[in-house]
Amino acid sequence: MKNIYGLTYVQLESYLLELGEKKSKAPFIYQGLYKQQIDSLLDIPAIRQSLLKQLEEDFSMTLPRLVEQTEGDDTTKFLFSLEDGSLIEAVLMRQKYGNSLCISSQVGCNMACAFCQSGRFKKVRNLLPEELTGQIIYIQKQLHLTISNIVLMGIGEPFDNYDNVMQFLEIISHPHGLALGPRHVTVSTCGLVPQIEQYASHPAHGLLAISLHAPDDETRSRLMPVNRRYPVAQLMDAARSCILKAGKKIMLEYVMLQEINDHPWQAQLLADLIGCDAFHVNLIPYNETQNLGFTQSSRERILEFYDVLKKNHITVTMRREFGSSVNAACGQLRADYEKQQKQ
Ligand code: SF4
C-alpha cells in the first residue's frame, strides 16, 4: 500500500482522475493532510465518505515511530524508527525567527567524512519521499508547532538520494500543503558536482549549502573522500554556475577543527577562492564526538580565521554551538542508542 505523504499534488490529481473524480478535490485532501493534519483519511472535511473510504483503502498514513526524544535548551533531538526498523535522526532548533528542523535523507551515509559519526554507518538505503515528509508531520503533530524552515543536513547525503529529495521538495512546497517555499528549505551537500548542476535548474529547488570544510585539496581529501572525485576547483565552478542560474547565495559550511583546517593561511586561501559576495561562509564549532580524533578549534583560532575573512570582505558568520547537550552531531544519538542496546 502506498503512503499518502509521498504523493505530490500532481500525482494526487492523477489518482483522482483515474477514479473518475474531479481533480478539484485535491486541494481539500492536501489541506486536510498538511494544514489540518488529520489523523485519519476519513476525517478530511468537504469530501464525501465513499471517496474517503476509497482513499483509506488505497493509502496508508504511516509516520516514523519515535524511539527516543532528548531535550536541550533550544533543541530537541528525535530518534525515529522506520517501518523496516531502520533508525534515523532529526533535530528541532527553536530560533528567534521560527522553528527549524534538520532532517535525515538516508539510512547511513556512504560519504565517509572523517569527522562525522554518520559516516561510520554505511548507507543501507535512501529515504522515500514519505519518510522525509513524515519527519516533519510527526513533529508538528506531536509538539503542536509549526516548522518554518527545513534543512537537509542530518544523516545522509541528500544528493545521493536526488530523485526522492526533489519529490519531497515538490510535496512540501505546494501552497495547499506545508507551503515551505524555496527560501525556507536548504539542501546541504558534501559536494556532488553533477547534482549541484542539476539542482539549480530544478523547478522545486531551495537554497543550497555546501560542506566545504577546507579550501585546499590536500586537507579536504583527507577530511572528505568525495574531494578525490570532485576537487575544490571543480566544486567551486559548479557552485558559481548554480549561483548564476538560480540567483541565490550559497552557504559554505566550514566546521572548525583544531590545527587541521583553521590556519590563517587557509582562511586567506578560502577568501581568494570565494572572491565575490555570492557566498556566505558559516564557521561551525566542531561538536566533538567519541573516538573520531578531532578537536574543536579554540575560540582564539576561530576568531583569527573569522578576522582574515572579514578583512577580505567575505560575508561570514559563526554558528552558535547548537545542541551539544543533546548529542546533536549527526549520527551521534543513533550511535549511543545502538551501544546501549548491545550492553
Ligand atoms: S558529514 Fe554528511 S555527507 Fe559526510 S559522512 Fe556525515 S552525513 Fe555523510
Domains of the chain: 2-60 (1.10.150.530), 65-342 (3.20.20.70)
Q: Name the 3-class secondary structure at 207.
A: strand
Report the pocket of ligand 1 as residue ranges, CB < 6 Å: 109, 111-113, 116, 118-119, 155-157, 190, 330
Which residues neighbour 11 within 8 Å (Cβ) at sequence distance 6 or greater? Answer: none
Across 87-107, average pLDDT: 93
Task: Pick the atom of ligand 1 nearest to 190's CA.
Answer: 3
Instruction: Give residue 101's pLDDT band: very low, low, confident or very high (50, 70, 90).
Output: very high
Q: Residue of the nearest CA to atom 5 in ligand 1?
A: 119
pLDDT of residue 334: 56
pLDDT of residue 120: 78
* Residues acting as catalytic residues: 89, 330
Residue 110 CA, ligand 1 centroid: distance in Å: 8
| pLDDT above 70 for 108 | yes
Strands 315-318, 279-285: parallel, antiparallel or unpaired by DSSP?
parallel
Residue 196 CA, ligand 1 centroid: distance in Å: 16
- Three cell numbers at 301? 583560532
- Three cell numbers at 205? 529547488
Bridge partners, residue 250, by sequence: 208, 279
Q: Can you spell out the DSSP letters for 192-217?
A: -HHHHHHHHH-TT--EEEEE---SSH
Instruction: Give residue 341's pLDDT band: very low, low, confident or very high (50, 70, 90).
Output: low
Across 270-294, average pLDDT: 87
| pLDDT above 50 for 323 | no
- Other CB atoms within 10 A of residue 36 CB: 12
- Three cell numbers at 87? 533508525
Residue 45 CA, ligand 1 centroid: distance in Å: 42
Residue 116 CA, ligand 1 centroid: distance in Å: 6
Residue 112 CA, ligand 1 centroid: distance in Å: 6
| Ligand 1 binding pocket mutation candidate from 88, 89, 103, 116 (most atoms within 8 A of CB) | 116
| Ligand 1 binding pocket mutation candidate from 151, 157, 196 (most atoms within 8 A of CB) | 157
pLDDT of residue 72: 87
pLDDT of residue 291: 77
Task: Pick the atom of ligand 1 nearest to 157's CA.
Answer: 3
Instruction: Give residue 326's pLDDT band: very low, low, confident or very high (50, 70, 90).
Output: very low
Task: Pick the atom of ligand 1 nearest to 224's CA.
Answer: 4
Bridge partners, residue 99, by sequence: 94, 147
| Ligand 1 binding pocket mutation candidate from 226, 289, 330, 333 (most atoms within 8 A of CB) | 330
pLDDT of residue 129: 98
Distance CA 104, CA 141 (A): 19
Enter the pTM of the model: 0.93
Task: Pick the atom of ligand 1 nearest to 112's CA.
Answer: 5
| pLDDT above 70 for 178 | yes
